[in-house]
Structures are given as C-alpha cells and as structure tokens.
Amino acid sequence: MNSIVETQLAEQDLTPTKKDLAQAKEELAPIKKELATTTKFNHWMTDEQLEEFGKELTALREETLKEVGQEDADYIRSIIRKQRVCEISGRTLIHFSINPITWLAGVGLLSVSKIMENMEIGHNIMHGQYDWMNDPKLNSQTYEWDTVCDSESWRKTHNYEHHTYTNILGKDRDYGYAVLRLSDDTPWKPRHLFQFINYGLLSVFFQWGVGLHELESERIRRREISLKEKIPFLKRISKKASRQVFKDYILFPLLAGPFALKVLAGNALANLGRNLWASTIIFCGHFTQDAHTFTQEECENESQGAWYLRQMLGSSNFTGGRWLHIMSGHLSYQIEHHLFPDIPAHRYPKMSLKVKEICDTYGVPYNTNSFGKQYFSVLKRILQYSLPDKNPLPKKAIPEKALA
Amino acid sequence: MSTAFKSNPSRVSPMIGMAWTYTWLYKLGEYFWQQSGQLQDYVNFVLCEADPRWDQQRMAAQIIKKEHPTADSTTLWLKPPAKWQGFKPGQYVTFECEINGSRVRRCYSLSNSPADFERTGLISITVKAIPNGKVSNHIKDHIAEADLVYLSHAQGVFSYQLTGAQENASNNQEQPKDIPEEASQYLFLAGGSGITPIKSMIEQLMEDRTFNHPKITLVYTTNNEGDAIYLERLRQLAEHQADFDLHFHASDDHGYLTTKQLRQWINEPSTTDAFICGPSAFMESMQTGLRKHGIAEDHIQLERFGAAKPAIKPTQGKLTTYFEPTDHTLINEGESSLLDMAEQAGLNPKYGCRAGICHECKCKRPEGELINGQTGKAIPHDQSHIQPCVTYATSDLVIHQWT
C-alpha cells in the first residue's frame, strides 16, 4: 500500500522549481517586511510580562547592591596594586633591558598594566561602580585614565549616549563607530567594500578613535554641525592627548638618555597591544552575529522592562577564565554590564546565573559563546555587510520559547 | 651673593651649606606633595606599600591606646604624623575611617591639652556611642589598637584666647599669650560628651603657668555619674587647684540644669567669658540663661560638634531651595528631582539618562536632608556626591556649588 502511494507521489513532480521558489519569496517579501517593521523587538511579551521581567531584574540589582561593601573595596584595591606593580616593573624593564627578551617582557607588562587600567579600573570606576567608597581617587567624576580619550568626553559618549541608547540606530554612535556598516539599516555604499581595512585601522589606533569620538566627524562632513561647536571639545582632547603623548613618547624616552629609541618603541608597542585588545573586547560586546539593532520608533517611551530587554538583546557575552574576564574589565559579561552598569563588575559572573534564569523564564535569548567563536562572528559580520543585501530586513529577536 | 659663595668657599662654613641644602630639599619636597598628579600617586603608592603610615597625601594616625572611660564611650589615643601642625585647646579634627569599604568622616574635639601632645606626641578623642550611630559604634566595637585612621589638621574657633574676637579666628597661628584683660572668670558649661573640648582647655590652662589665668568654673552635667567621662580626673584637678571649681550635676537625681541655678556660678557677668558645649537643647537653654544673667553675646562661645545633630523629619508642605550660584530661590513640595530644580533655577547642569543609570549628572551633595527616589532611603550627610536626577529633597536646601 505504502509503496503504491510512494510511486504515485513520485510520479507527480512535487519538488518546487526555482521559479516557484522565487515567486513565493517575492510574494512573501512585503509581508515579511511589514511584519518586521511593525513588530517591536519585544513582540513576544505582553506589557505585563515585560513589567514582571523588569521587576525581577531590578530585584536582582537591589539584592546585589546590599552585598556591596568591603569585598568590593578590597577587590578594586588589589587590582590597582597589581596594575601598578605591572606598570612600574614594565617601565623599569623597558628602560634597563639587557636583551630583546627582557625588553619584550617589559613591553608585555606595560601593555597588561594599560589594559587593566583602562578596562577593569578606569572604565568601571567612571561608571560610578566604586563611588560609594567615598574615595576621591576612585570617584567617577574625577578619575582620569591612561588613554588619549579624556574622561569627561568618555562619560558623555559612553556612559550616557552608548549606555542609554544601546544599539539604537542613529542614536548610539558606538554602533560601527560611524565607519562600519554592520546592519542592513545602514544604506550600502561602495566604500563599505573596504570596511575591513577601516576596521583594522580603527583597532590599531583605537585610543585615538575613542578619543575623537565626540568630534562627530561624520556629522561635520555631512554639514549637520559645524567644527566651531566642537572647539571646547577640541581644546579638552588636545590637552589630554598631548599629556599622553608627552608621557609615553617624550618624557620616558628622554629619561633613558641614549636608549630613548628603545623606550619609545616599547611604549608604542605597549599602546598598540592595548589598542588591539580593547577594540577586540568592545567589538565582541555588541557586534556579534546575533546582537540586535533597534529603530528609534520602537524605543520611544519604553518601559523599564523594555529598556532591560533592549540592553540584553543588543549585547553579547563570551566565556573564559577568571583572568580573561579581569583583562576585559568584565565586559565579557557585556549583558550584565549593560543591565547594571554601576554595580562593581567583578560581581557580574555571580549575577549572570540569575540573569540566565530570568532569561530562561521569559524566553529571552542570552547571547554567549566562547571568546574565539564570538570574535569570529564579529569578523564575519564586518565582511558580510561589506556587501549590499537585496532584501534588507531588520533583524528581530526570536524568543527561545513561546510564553503562556 | 652667589659669586661670593663660589670665590670664597672657606668663608661659608659647611654647616650652613648643609642646612641650606636641607632646607632647599625640604621645600622642594613640600612643593612636590602640594601638587596632585600621577607621579605623586605612584610615589605615594610605593611609600604606602612599604609602610602605610608614610602616606604623603593623607595624614595617617595610628591608634596607640583604646580605653572605655564609661560603658558607652571610647577614648582613642592617636599618634598623628610629623607634619600634623598641632592644635589649640578646644579645637577639633575631621576623623576618617573605613567602614565596610566606604570612607566616612566625622568631626571630634580633641580632649587632651596641647601641652600633653608636646610631651607625648599623642592626641586623644573621646566618642560616645549613639544608638544606631554608624561611626561612633564602629569606633567602640571595631577599631583596634594599631589600626590606622586619617586626620585633618585641627580646625575650629572654640577656644579661650579668642574670646570676643571671632574675626581673628581664622588666624590659626595666634599664640595664647594675651588673655583679654577684662575676663575675671571662665565659665565652662558642659553637657554629656560636650566635656571633651572643655577638658582640653581646662587642662591647658592648668598647665600654662606663664600667665595668670582667670578663675575657672566648670559646670558639668550628665544623666548620672556612670555616664560622666573624665569625672575622676577633673575632680582630682579641682582638689589640687585653688582657682578651679568643679560643679557636677546629675540630671537623673536633680533634674535638668535650670537657668536660675546658673546664676550662683557667675561672679561678675560683665567680665565673665562663657563656653558651652553639649546637646543642642542644653546649649540653647544655657545660652538663653547666660544672656538673662547679663553676659554679653560676644562673650559666649558655643561648640556644636559635641552633640549629635537632631534628626530632621521630612517636612510635609513647602520646601525652599536656595541656589547660591544663581541667587535663585525655589519653593516646591519636594515633588521634583534636584536635577529638574537646578534646571528651573537656570543652572544648566550636565545630565544624561535622567534615570539614575549613567552618573552623568552627578553633583556635589547640597546641604539639607535628601532621599534617593529609587530606594527611598536617606542620603548620608558625609556622602560627597549625589545623582540629582533621582534625588529628592525632604527639607530646605542650600546649594553652594553644583559641581
């Protein structure tokens, strides 16, 4: 019996032709597009569910804040101690190296120190994670870090703009840093064909890219704003940048007298190492394959719960050992960092367990993978969007499961 | 001058040269530590790693001895660093210690005399544990001998040599040599732990025999003898010194001190200088009493740090906020955040998310009672900065400077 049906079915050619497929796709495209543009990123949750979801995360925040105390003070001080020991010994080794191996060791230590200072110390202190310690040296408003970017500019472009409008196209200028096309919402232009080169350059000169971020050069080019408006910023950044350049490329080399070149090269290499590392970590946080983007319309008047959800969908974590997390300033827990930017970052690993549980309850995808896989997906994404897409569709989050 | 030095070195003794070099190096060091920068931070880091007492950016004082003069009070004997500039009797220091990772500061009067400090190199403070008091209970229960705390230089104008000359108060270097001629009596009124700056003054007066000081009268009141700090020591002093009278008043047995009672200790109101330190209610009633008995306003000095500030209840109704930078006064019912209020007052403050996330709007803590709108909890007085977008006033405020 079965074999008869099978034969009959086989006689009828049921495989759709290429033409059929193309036709179906064409018919579906407008429907899909309409669906995609009219559905909000939080489409699978009712307002009540979103509110509950937000409340659970706020409860986690309150719970963790209660525990913040001596342990966190001891932690950040021990990290600062390690960083300073690294920096002092690194600079000493570069100065008094007897062979390329000791010199390289010095460069490595200095680079590690700069990474720790930028990621785990400076970035986190400036988020206000340690303000409660009441220590003027660890205060978010007065801290100045070891990079070209001046901290006032950073607090504006990063703490406010990036953290409030995370991955909202046209509002979050960290999205692609105005040089990369990472979503079909950005219209394709021939220059995007070479964006991989731009990515390489941005990574190499990352501290300068971050430092000049507030200049909004793309908006100046489009004549939306004038250079005049940016004069106060330019004054600030040139002051900070000249300090940094003076320290690493003039003062310390001159202190070494005849070995000035060796020190200059060592400092440059240490800065390069830090630039590449910082850029890699930051790209893994928001530009992985499954990190979502949002339109301004869908984020209007968003509730606390929707805000949390957007932070989650727009961020991605990576896994690794304790020191990978420390060296990334715990931005390996980018999701937790975006949910709770002012909670001491070393608490994110513990918090992530509860966050995952909440994600599971509400069907929210939790974007995490190994460091290598996440980074590979970033590179893939940069390459993929170098080319135009014929049927651009905004990316929508797909719930892990349907909610009752 | 420098040519003379070079051409004729034999005329300059090497001692002078060394002294000159030493002074010069010392001044250079002083100049170096007056600056703040990364270099200073790193040098200080190395020094503190070697010995935390060598901290050049803060004044670390070690606890040498800890005593409990009464059941709920603690006396700490501290060794301030060499650069600590000393004090005048009656002055206080800002005392900083760390509680659960967070730095907290309180002002405490010094209770020993400057003469005693010169002899021993130690200073003492006595702190009464207030119920639920964060720092006072931490000092009582957790601070131990050999711990480090941090001090400010001595501050304050509550002192006898400045009587009637408040405007000279800022001149800290003034030596206690010219007692105003007209003073024939010093009347000290101490309530509870308000005895601490007064004890310092009395001890110094007893020690300083280089001038004739006026007659000293101390009226000391506490609930009962068990609560009275230094009572034994003061009684001993009174026994041996003819010009020092002590009157102890236990309010549990005899009721609160009345202004009427005050009259018996005043010899000649026109030449009496009075010093009051104690709980606010005590100070107020004593001040009124002294005035009634004919002591002029500028001969009465008050020290408010000895007393715990009364808790201000959240006001229901109109609140006034005064913005010093713009001279703007705002009246509302505490319904808008400090950030909104600053904008209304034309301050043009920095802001970001306006939801307590980004810390972009952070500003200095204004004077007054505040709560965090997100947690509903009061913001402590010694917190240096606040997030104005989620901070609400519960009392009248004075905003001196926004950032």
Distance CA A20, CA A37 (A): 26
Mean pLDDT, chain A, rounded, equals 89
- Determine the Cα angle at B211 with ends B208 and B215, to 5°: 85
SS3 string of B97-166?
EEECCEEEEEEEEECCCHHHHHHHCCEEEEEECCCCCHHHHHHHHCCCCCCEEEECCCECCCCHHHCCCH
Q: How confident is the model at residue A177 (pLDDT cuts 50, 70, 90)?
A: confident
User: For residue B163, which amino acid is it?
Assistant: T
Distance CA B223, CA B216 (A): 23
A133 touching chain B per CB within 8 A: yes
Distance CA B104, CA B292 (A): 40
Q: What is the pLDDT of residue B242?
A: 83
Measure in Å the smallest separation between the Cα of A136 and chain B Cα atoms. Answer: 9
Q: What average pLDDT does range A167-171 have in this prediction?
A: 89
Q: Please, how many CA atoms are within 13 Å of residue A185, restricted to the half-sphere of its CB?
A: 19
Helix axes B231-240, B195-207, angle to 10 degrees: 30
- Determine the Cα angle at A89 with ends A84 and A95, to 5°: 130
Q: What is the pLDDT of residue A6?
A: 61
Measure in Å the smallest separation between the Cα of B134 and chain A Cα atoms. Answer: 15
Q: What is the pLDDT of residue A42?
A: 78
Ramachandran region, residue B232 (left: φ > 0; alpha: ψ -120 to 50; beta: rest): alpha
Among chain A residues, the shortest Cα distance to B379 is held by A132
User: For residue B121, which amino acid is it?
Assistant: G
Q: Does residue A66 register a pLDDT over 60?
A: yes
Q: Which residues, other chains included, contact B45 with Cβ-Cβ below 8 Å and sequence gap of 6+? A: A81, A84
Q: What is the pLDDT of residue B309?
A: 38
B292 touching chain A per CB within 8 A: no
Which of A382, A377, A378 shows the shortest CA–CA distance to A196? A382
Mean pLDDT lowest among A53-57, B131-135, B161-165, B306-310: B306-310
Taking a C-beta distance cutoff of 8 angstroms, is the pair B105, B94 a contact? yes
Q: What is the pLDDT of residue B166?
A: 37
Q: Does residue A7 register a pLDDT over 70?
A: no
Q: What is the pTM of this model?
A: 0.82
Please answer yes or no on whether B362 and A137 come within 8 Å at the CB atom: no
In the block, tokens 């980004």 appear at B358
**A139, A160, A341: residue with CB nearest B385:** A139
Q: Does residue B205 register a pLDDT over 60?
A: yes
Q: How confident is the model at residue B184 (pLDDT cuts 50, 70, 90)?
A: confident
Please answer yes or no on whether A155 and B353 come within 8 Å at the CB atom: no
Q: What is the pLDDT of residue B1?
A: 43
Q: Does residue A1 register a pLDDT over 70?
A: no
A57 CB neighbours in chain B (<8 A) are none
Q: Does residue A252 register a pLDDT over 70?
A: yes
Distance CA B73, CA B68 (A): 6
B383 touching chain A per CB within 8 A: yes
Residues in A 56-85 with any Cβ partner in B closer than 8 A: 62, 68-74, 81, 84
Q: Where is pLDDT greater, at B8 or A274?
A: A274
Residue A316 in tokens: 């991605």
Q: Does residue B168 register a pLDDT over 70?
A: no
Taking a C-beta distance cutoff of 8 angstroms, is the pair B393, A162 a contact? no
Highest mean pLDDT among B85-99, B171-185, B328-342: B85-99
Pairing status of strand B185-191 against strand B215-222: parallel
What residues does A365 pair with on adjacent strands?
none
B104 CB neighbours in chain A (<8 A) are 134
The rounded radius of gyration (Å) of the Cα atoms in chain A is: 25
Furthest C-alpha separation in chain A = 95
DSSP string, A200-242: HHHHHTHHHHHHTGGG-HHHHHTTSS-GGGGHHHHHHHHHHHH
Helix (H, G, I), strand (E, B), or coil: what is residue B75? strand
Q: Which helix (H) or strand (E) holds A101?
A: helix A100-116
A340 CB neighbours in chain B (<8 A) are none
- Determine the Cα angle at B73 with ends B71 and B78, to 5°: 135
Q: Does residue B211 register a pLDDT over 70?
A: no
Q: How confident is the model at residue B312 (pLDDT cuts 50, 70, 90)?
A: very low
Measure in Å the smallest separation between the Cα of B64 and chain A Cα atoms. Answer: 24
Residue B71 in tokens: 């059941």
Q: Does residue B54 register a pLDDT over 50?
A: yes
Residue A118 in tokens: 């930028």
Distance CA B75, CA B129 (A): 11
pLDDT over 70 percentage in chain B: 87
Residues in A 290-349 with any Cβ partner in B closer than 8 A: 341-342
DSSP string, A274-290: HHHHHHHHHHHHH-STT
Distance CA B366, CA B321 (A): 10
Q: What is the pLDDT of residue A5?
A: 58
Q: Where is pLDDT greater, at B311 or B68?
A: B68
Q: How confident is the model at residue A11 (pLDDT cuts 50, 70, 90)?
A: low
Q: How confident is the model at residue A208 (pLDDT cuts 50, 70, 90)?
A: very high
The b-or-e profile of B144-159 (16+ CB within 10 A means b, else e) is: eeeebbbbeebebbbb
Q: Does residue A195 register a pLDDT over 80?
A: yes
Q: What is the pLDDT of residue A34?
A: 66
Q: What average pLDDT does range B198-223 have in this prediction?
A: 86
Q: How confident is the model at residue B164 (pLDDT cuts 50, 70, 90)?
A: very low
Q: What average pLDDT does range A50-57 have in this prediction?
A: 94
Q: What is the pLDDT of residue B179?
A: 47
Phi, psi of B319 (to 5 degrees): -120, 140
Distance CA A342, CA B228 (A): 46
Mean pLDDT lowest among A380-384, B289-293, B307-311: B307-311
User: For residue A222, which amino acid is it?
Assistant: R
Taking a C-beta distance cutoff of 8 angstroms, is the pair B64, B77 a contact? yes
Residue A14 in tokens: 């049921």
Q: How confident is the model at residue A4 (pLDDT cuts 50, 70, 90)?
A: low
Quick: pLDDT tens for A100-156: 999 999 999 999 999 999 999 999 999 999 999 988 899 998 899 999 999 999 999
Which of A27, A38, A25 shows the shortest CA–CA distance to A394? A38
Q: What is the pLDDT of residue B89?
A: 93
Q: What is the pLDDT of residue B171?
A: 44
Q: Does residue A10 register a pLDDT over 60?
A: no
Quick: pLDDT tens for B3-25: 444 555 556 678 888 899 999 99
Cα A267 to Cα A55, A97, A115, A148, A327: the distances in Å are: 48, 13, 13, 14, 19
Q: What is the pLDDT of residue B91?
A: 92
Phi, psi of B326 (to 5 degrees): -110, 0
pLDDT over 90 percentage in chain B: 42
User: For residue B143, which amino acid is it?
Assistant: I
Which of A139, A119, A147, A117 shows the shortest CA–CA distance to A212? A147
Residue B124 in tokens: 């003492």
Residue B26 in tokens: 């010392």
Residues in B 26-85 with any Cβ partner in A closer than 8 A: 41-42, 45-46, 49
Distance CA A186, CA A39 (A): 19
In the block, tokens 């000791």 appear at A102
Cα B111 to Cα B75, B89, B126: the distances in Å are: 9, 8, 7
Q: How confident is the model at residue B346 (pLDDT cuts 50, 70, 90)?
A: confident
Q: What is the pLDDT of residue A235?
A: 94
Pairing status of strand B92-99 against strand B102-109: antiparallel
Pairing status of strand B363-364 against strand B328-332: unpaired
Taking a C-beta distance cutoff of 8 angstroms, is the pair B192, B230 a contact? no
B142 touching chain A per CB within 8 A: no
Taking a C-beta distance cutoff of 8 angstroms, is the pair B79, B62 a contact? yes
Q: How confident is the model at residue B120 (pLDDT cuts 50, 70, 90)?
A: very high
Taking a C-beta distance cutoff of 8 angstroms, is the pair B177, B211 a contact? yes
In the block, tokens 């509680």 appear at B99
Q: What is the pLDDT of residue B210?
A: 59
Q: Does residue B230 register a pLDDT over 80?
A: yes
The rounded radius of gyration (Å) of the Cα atoms in chain B is: 25
Instruction: Work out the burial of residue A54: count CB atoms within 10 Å of its CB; fewer than 13 is exposed, 13-18 middle, 19 or more buried.
Output: middle
